[in-house]
Amino acid sequence: MAEVTKGRATKYAVVTGANKGIGFEICRQLASHGVMVILTARNEKRGLEAVEKLKGFGLDENVVFKQHDVVDPSSIASLAEFMKTQFGRLDILVNNAGIAGVNADADALKAKQESSGNLKHEWAKGILSDSENLTEEKIEEVIGQYLKDFKEDSVQAKGWPSFMSAYILSKAAMNAYSRVMAKKHPSVQINCVCPGFVKTDINFNRGILSIEEGAESPVRLALQPDDSPSGLFFDRKEVSSFE
State the Cα–Cα distance between residues 85 and 235, nearest whole angstrom. Answer: 36
Long-range contacts of 173-179 (CB under 8 A, 24+ apart): 173/128, 173/139, 173/142, 173/143, 174/95, 175/128, 175/233, 175/242, 176/128, 176/129, 176/134, 176/139, 176/242, 177/136, 177/139, 178/231, 179/131, 179/134, 179/231, 179/242
Q: What angle do CA 11, 37, 218 make, to 5 degrees?
A: 85
Cα(18)–Cα(202) distance, integer angstroms: 14
Q: Determine the angle formed by the axes of helices 21-32 and 211-222, rounding to 10 degrees.
A: 50
Give the phi and the psi of residue 50 in degrees, each rounded to 5: -65, -40
Active-site residue set: 167
